Chains A and B, each alone.
Chain A
Amino acid sequence: MSAATSSRERILSSVRTATKDIAKDATNRAAAYAGLPRNYIRRGQLSAEARLELLTERLREYDAEVVETTQAGLLAAIKAQLTASGRHCFVAPEGLPAAWMAAGFDWKIDRNLATAEIEKVEGVVTAASYGIADSGTIVLHHAADEGRRVVSLLPDWHLLVLNANRVVETLPEYFDRCKQPPELATYISGPSATADIEMTRIKGVHGPRFLAVILVHD
């Protein structure tokens, strides 16, 4: 323990010595941080409609399936996607609305399911926290209806349900919206992919190989 403590003290003390002429006290540090230049684009310029169109275009660029629907049409849209996937057995996060679990399919509800159980299912349905149109990013904060990280990782097919009013245009707009930093977050911008062999892009290495997104209008 004392060796570890001394390394900590040694490193911090050499860091403090190295920065003794430039480091600021707490008040001045906060002021300096607040004064950092941030002249990049914060707010998007697109209309709500164009913003959704851009997100859809970006998602389709990486071969995600995208459909738009209304609250009234949501259940039918989920069912249609499940059917079209050709899969039968799905996992649902514990907090997924029961109505979304369409009849006629096998559902496993994730109440701390063992990894081996999740590995056996063919697909997963989750909600999502935000969508970022500019980069085609889906944000999961792993709330109860978005599921533990493992449920959206092992199944090969992932259906995401995203509220249209949760779609922002720029990345800074996402950060403006979530003033309380999430403990867990996964940003998905495309299916699992690699270009490690001769820069040839291959989709589907370890994460889900198939992504479908339902955008829901109020």
Chain B
Amino acid sequence: MSHAAASSHAELDPRKALPFPKAVLPVLRNPQLRKNVAHAIDVIQAKRAKLVAEKTDWQELRTAASALRTHALENLGAYLEQFEERCTAAGGTVHWAADAEEARHIILDILRQENASEVIKIKTMTSAEIQLNPYLEGNGVSTFETDLAEIILQLGELEPSHIVVPALHVNRSQVREIFARRMGRPELSDDPKELTNAARTFLRQKFLSIPTAISGANFLIAETGAVGVVESEGNGRMCLTLPKTMITIAGIEKVLPSFQDLEVTLQLLARSATGERMNPYTSIWTGVKPGDGPQKFHVVLLDNGRSSILGKSKERQTLKCIRCAACMNSCPVYRQTGGHAYGSVYPGPIGAILTPQLMQMKHAQTLPFASSLCGACYEVCPVKINIPQVLLELRSQVVNQERKQVGRVFDPMYLGLRAANLLFAQAWIFHTAQWFGRMGLGMFTGKDGWIHWLPSVGGKWTQTRDLRGLPSQNFHEWWAKQRGSKPSKGAK
């Protein structure tokens, strides 16, 4: 049944999610899911590559964006206060939420004051981070996602697997099945145009009748107190324009100093995210404008672990992120696993560094290891976050945590690493070990030259990957043969 391919029971709460190496197993055995993910990524990557190549000042833009985001973070306190002052002066109400729970309470309180039993929503990762929808539903408020991908997920009771195209793991026949069942439209075909039209019809009445909306923010502008949202479908414009009350939830790191800074970020964001020169719609609004749009506007500024990341010099750059998802699109690990294995609403390389830090390094400790450190994410990042550097830093923190645990000393992995430490210390020991290794691994090497199964700790590799068997001679031996001399044992 196609429905299963969407892997509907993903757990995206990092406190409850399985460790990455375990969470990844069902995905790797699901060829349909892997095909859906690879297809989507190939399409985005091809479009992105073409549009980045035509931008001759791409590297200068990256440098500017990196410096700008760094500057904003280094002076975050001042810029947040400035944003608050200007937004308030323009008729907005600014709230501060130290953690997810407080943010949920603030939003529910506003909805209760408005007597809102229904709310329309623009796709917001921050709302997913604080698990807002289940909380509101549990308190009698129906939530209606309005981004096409988010409707697919909400109606299908599925979890997002990407931060820009969150339903990329769901294919058209799965969408058809979900819409037919949940919209009562059994006649729908699996033509994407027809499915998109079904969503348009389904949502139009909601846009016109529900007076309260919730959005995220792509940026907050300190200079003016304005908020901006970039989108493609127009559902954002609907939610930002038609309701009477608007609630925006934004991480405190989203501030830019000036309106003009958008000349940098807007040139990078759409190209990096969807491979477009500019996303179809960008909306900017400043507090409340009499006669135009919502007449009540609330911004909830969310900390939820961000200020503690800010205090660490290597990790601080994590907060420069503008959520374009280029890192996951370029990641060889994400390509194979999709998003759910990361056990967080933030998957891929940025999720691998952001999630454990948002969890104060108490959960999701396997994520910093879910990388080959190839550096592709750093190369594509439009704000130059050195993700491999942060991954290494977090790895060392995780290892130092584990070292303190009694019992870890006898863990096969740690014993193995300690043994490796000895082996690599002296060339003659290394060569001898190589000889034994060739003998030993030879027993497991198949006729095709690959190792498909290893016992004990070696199985951690072979349960999801094959390993190339060791060649019959090493480079030293080959070199010695070429030169007709004996290999120099232990030579420096």
Contacts and interface: CB of A to CB of B under 8 A. Distances in A.
Nearest to A116: B208
Given A14-B308, A16-B77, A7 B102 contact: yes
Nearest to B41: A199
A190 B230 CA distance: 13
Given A153-B238, A197-B196, A18 B307 contact: yes
A163 interface: no
B207 interface: yes
Interface in B41-63: 43-44, 56-57, 60-61, 63
User: How many residues of A sit at the interface, in one of the four size bands?
Assistant: 35 or more
A104 B252 CA distance: 53
A119 B77 contact: no
Interface string A1-45: 000100110111011111100111010010011001111110000
A171 to B, nearest CB: 5
B241 to A, nearest CB: 4
Contacts of A132: 278
B276 A7 contact: no
Interface stretch (A80-88, A121-129, A202-210): A202-210
Contacts of B241: 149-150, 153
Contacts of A7: 96-98, 102
A218 B291 CA distance: 33
B95 interface: yes
A105 interface: no
Interface stretch (B261-269, B359-367, B388-396): B261-269
Contacts of A115: 208, 242
A194 B14 CA distance: 30
B74 A206 contact: no
Contacts of A131: none
A71 interface: no
B172 A197 contact: yes
A192 B71 contact: no
B395 to A, nearest CB: 22
Given A4-B95, A33-B257, A197 B233 contact: no
Given A19-B73, A40-B267, A199-B165, 20 more contacts: A7-B97, A11-B98, A11-B303, A12-B77, A14-B308, A15-B310, A22-B74, A26-B78, A40-B61, A41-B56, A58-B277, A135-B278, A172-B263, A186-B282, A192-B280, A196-B165, A198-B36, A198-B40, A205-B235, A206-B207
A191 B276 CA distance: 13
A-B pairs with lowest CB-CB distance, top 3: A207-B234, A18-B311, A206-B234
Given A136-B278, A183-B90, A36 B71 contact: yes
Contacts of B74: 19, 22-24
B232 A192 contact: yes
Interface string B145-181: 0111100100000000000010110011001000000
B400 interface: no
User: Which of A4, A137, A181, A208 is packed against the most chain B CB atoms within 10 Å?
Assistant: A181
Nearest to B223: A181
Contact of B196 (A26, A137, A194): A194
A192 B199 CA distance: 13
A14 B57 CA distance: 37
A202 B172 CA distance: 13
24 contacts: A7-B96, A11-B98, A11-B303, A17-B311, A19-B310, A29-B75, A36-B71, A39-B63, A39-B64, A135-B267, A149-B293, A150-B241, A175-B263, A182-B284, A187-B281, A188-B280, A189-B276, A189-B279, A194-B149, A194-B196, A194-B232, A196-B148, A200-B172, A202-B193
Contact of A148 (B172, B192, B266, B292): B292
A50 interface: no
A171 B267 contact: yes
A135 B285 CA distance: 21
A195 interface: yes
Interface residues of B, number: 97
Contact of B224 (A4, A181, A206): A181
Question: Which of B168, B171, B257, B311 is packed against the most chain A CB atoms within 10 Å?
Answer: B311
A58 B51 CA distance: 13
A142 interface: yes
Contact of A185 (B64, B165, B283): B283
A185 B310 CA distance: 31
A11 B263 contact: no
A22 B316 CA distance: 12
B283 A186 contact: yes
B380 to A, nearest CB: 17
B64 A112 contact: no
A99 to B, nearest CB: 25
Contacts of B207: 206
B80 interface: yes
Interface string B81-102: 1000000001000011110001
A15 B76 contact: yes
